[in-house]
Amino acid sequence: DAGITQSPRHKVTETGTPVTLRCHQTENHRYMYWYRQDPGHGLRLIHYSYGVKDTDKGEVSDGYSVSRSKTEDFLLTLESATSSQTSVYFCATTQGGDTQYFGPGTRLTVL
Amino acid sequence: QKEVEQNSGPLSVPEGAIASLNCTYSDRGSQSFFWYRQYSGKSPELIMFIYSNGDKEDGRFTAQLNKASQYVSLLIRDSQPSDSATYLCAVDNTDKLIFGTGTRLQVFP
C-alpha cells in the first residue's frame, strides 16, 4: 500500500470557520486526489493534482480550494465551512493516473 | 455526464456461495476498470483491475469485462463472512476515476 496519511483524522468545527485537511504521501506519486464520501452519493472528486502547483477541479469543487507546494503534500481548504460539507474526506494517490490508493480518511463535522 | 452505475444492494449470499456484483458504465472510450472493497468506517482498498475483454482471476476473485456491452462484473467464489463489505466499481476518465455508489454485500453463515 502507498504510504498515505491524513490529518486530522477527526474534526468538529463550527459553520463559518476555515478548515484545512492535509494529505501526506511517501511514495513520490505524481497524482493526488481529494474525494468526499456521503451516503447515497459514493465517492465524489473535489479537486486533484497532477504535479507540484498543478491542480484542477473535480465535480464538487465549490467551496473548496487546494494547494500542492511539495510532491508529498496536498492540502484541502474549506474557506468558510458549511453544514453541507459535513462528510468523510479521502485522499488518494497514483503514479500513473489510474490505479489509486487511498488514505485512511478524515471525518469532518460542521455544526 | 459520464456515469458508473451499480445496484446498491444489499446483496445477501450464504457462506460458500458465489457472489456476483455488477457495474455498467456510460463512456464507451473507457479503458481501465477497477474494483475496490470498503469495510464500514474504513477507506477503499483495491481488489482488482482489468483492462482487456474477458476474465481475470486472482484467488477467489474474478473480474469480467465486456466492453461491447459496457459491463464489468466481480465474482467472489466461496464467499466468506469476512467478504461482507461495500464493493465500489471505478472507471478511468483521463487521469481520474469515476466511482459507482457501491454494492453492499452481506455474507451470512
pLDDT digits (tens, 9 = 90+) for B26-63: 999 999 999 999 999 999 999 999 999 999 999 999 99
pLDDT 10s digits, B60-99: 999 999 999 999 999 999 999 999 999 999 999 888 999 9
Q: What is the DSSP code string of chain A?
A: ---EEEE-SEEEE-TT--EEEEEEESS--SEEEEEEEETTTEEEEEEEEEETTEEEE-TT-TTEEEEEEETTEEEEEESS--GGG-EEEEEEEESSSSS-EE---EEEEE-
pLDDT averaged over chain A? Answer: 94
Of B34, B43, B88, the CB nearest to A99: B34
pLDDT at A19: 97
Any A CB within 8 A of B95 CB: yes
Contact between chains at B101 and A101 (C-beta distance less than 8 A): no
Residues 24-83 of A with CB under 8 A from B: 31, 33, 40-45, 48, 50, 58
Any A CB within 8 A of B40 CB: no
Contact between chains at A98 and B92 (C-beta distance less than 8 A): yes
Beta bridge partners of residue A109, listed in sequence order:
A12
For residue B105, count CB atoms less than 10 angstroms from its CB and return exposed for 0-12, middle for 13-18, buried for 19 or more: buried
Chains A, B: CB contacts within 8 A come to: 47
Whether A1 shows a pLDDT value over 70: the answer reads no
Whether A28 shows a pLDDT value over 70: the answer reads yes
Chain B residue closest in CA terms to A103: B43
pLDDT 10s digits, B2-31: 899 999 889 999 999 999 999 999 999 999
Q: A13-36 burial string, b = 16+ CB within 10 Å, else e?
A: beeeeebebebbbeeebbbbbbbb
Whether A97 shows a pLDDT value over 70: the answer reads no
A103–chain B nearest CA distance, Å = 7
Q: Report the SS3 class of residue B60.
A: coil
The percentage of residues in chain A with a pLDDT greater than 70, rounded to a whole number, is: 97
A103 chain-B contacts, CB cut-off 8 A: 43
pLDDT band with cut points at 50, 70 and 90 for residue A2: low
pLDDT at B68: 94
**Distance (Å, whole) CA A20 – CA A22:** 7
